Amino acid sequence: MTSVGTADASPGTVDTGRLEVGETRDGSTFGLPVAVVEGARDGKTLYIQAASDGDELNGVGVVRRVVPRIDPDELAGTVIVVGVVNYHAFQVAEHRNPIDDTKMNRAYPGDENGTSSERIAAATYDVARNADLVLDLHQGSTSRMIDEVRVRCGRRHRLHTQCLDLAKTFGCGYVLDQKGPDGQLARVAPSDGVPAVDPELGGAVGWDEGSIAKGVEGVFNVLRGYDFLSGDPGIEAQTRAKAFDQYGSPVGGLVRFHHDLGDRVSADEALFEVTDVFGELKARITADNDGIFWRSRRLPQVATGEYVCSVGKTVDTY
């Protein structure tokens, strides 16, 4: 039997419940929604979480579709899912936890006696660190972004190869292989010996059915590739970028892009133009390096210095 919060699943069953992590401002308790799928046969444990950033909803869409499709009688091992991590931010559709103005995916491994975000991080990490694999489902928030998987442990990390393999098995087509900031789950878990990645499922505020479908497929690729379920995961070569060039606007105005997401770009090639509201050209920005048009702002209006787009660089295939 596996128990997480109030969810208790014996072999061949599924149970849902709540992982209690504190109280709201009126003194009532709150808990994170959790599901446990306990396979009929022994095997590894996969931990999945979504919405650690409260406005990144595509991961919740993935969870909603994945859990009902896993048949515990066909499963070897255990799948544990926390469907909404950033409880307070999710309630108000904000990115950061409004209780302490913290980005949850900078708070790991957490502190059970700390701030609101640190307590939630500690409660979820206590589950994740005991798994064999971790998938932390994200998306590009308010930006438009390709579907990708991020390997955040750093290329010199002892688990780097395992994390790259996990990203390839998930199989979005694109991988960002760049060491992440302190406090990211996908950076912290490998340091405790657990391969972890964060799939970034599109962007521009979720609910995007195409990105959700890719996420569902990716989870089942992992379930098949790591022998939780029988079947072929269909592993394919991935396009990998090892860094970003990020571009802001030197002027204010309206952006017109020269590329779509996923396009190859060459150094000195135009990325975007900025015009005034009457269409007069004010600036044309070119690429610093060869790469892939990876991410862009959703709205056309920009102020001086405001973020516009990113190009993935140092690109290869593995």
16's tokens: 């849902």
The Cα-based distances of 2 to 15, 38, 187, 227 in angstroms read 10, 7, 26, 19
What is the pTM for the complete model shown?
0.96
If 0-12 CB within 10 Å is exposed, 13-18 middle and 19+ buried, where does residue 238 land?
buried
Same domain? For 190 and 287 the reply is: no
* 238/242 Cα distance (integer angstroms): 13
268's tokens: 């000195």
198-231 burial, b if ≥16 CB within 10 A, otherwise e? bbbbbbbbbebeebbbbbbbbbbbbbbbbebbee
The Cα-based distances of 299 to 95, 145, 205, 236 in angstroms read 18, 13, 12, 34
CB 175 within 8 A of CB 199: no
| CATH number of the domain encompassing residue 154 | 3.40.630.10
Same domain? For 306 and 223 the reply is: no
Last residue of one domain, picked from the residues 214, 239, 264:
239
Tens digits of residue pLDDT in 208-248: 999 999 999 999 999 999 999 999 998 999 999 999 999 99
Tens digits of residue pLDDT in 265-274: 999 999 999 9
* 117/105 Cα distance (integer angstroms): 9
* 22/43 Cα distance (integer angstroms): 32
Looking at residue 194, what is its pLDDT? 98
Same domain? For 273 and 233 the reply is: no
Q: Which domain holds residue 100?
A: 2-239
Same domain? For 284 and 153 the reply is: no
Looking at residue 203, what is its pLDDT? 81
Same domain? For 174 and 280 the reply is: no
Same domain? For 223 and 139 the reply is: yes
Q: What is the mean pLDDT of the chain?
A: 97
What's at 216, amino acid-wise?
A: V
> For 60, phi and psi rounded to 5 degrees?
-65, -40
* 37/12 Cα distance (integer angstroms): 8
Same domain? For 227 and 281 the reply is: no
Q: Is 112 helix (H, G, I), strand (E, B) or coil?
A: coil
CB 35 within 8 A of CB 81: yes
- Which residues have CB under 8 Å from 156's CB, separation 6+? none
Tens digits of residue pLDDT in 275-288: 999 999 999 999 99
Per cent of the chain over pLDDT 90 is 97
Same domain? For 41 and 79 the reply is: yes
* 24/313 Cα distance (integer angstroms): 44
Tens digits of residue pLDDT in 154-174: 999 999 999 999 999 999 999
Q: Evaluate the CA torsion angle 124, 65, 167, 147 in order and state its sign.
A: negative
The separation between CA 162 and the C-alpha centre of its own chain, rounded to angstroms, equals 18
Give the residue ranges of the chain where pLDDT is below 70. none
If 0-12 CB within 10 Å is exposed, 13-18 middle and 19+ buried, where does residue 186 land?
buried
* 144/311 Cα distance (integer angstroms): 13
| CATH number of the domain encompassing residue 313 | 2.40.50.100
Same domain? For 56 and 137 the reply is: yes
73 DSSP 8-state letter: T
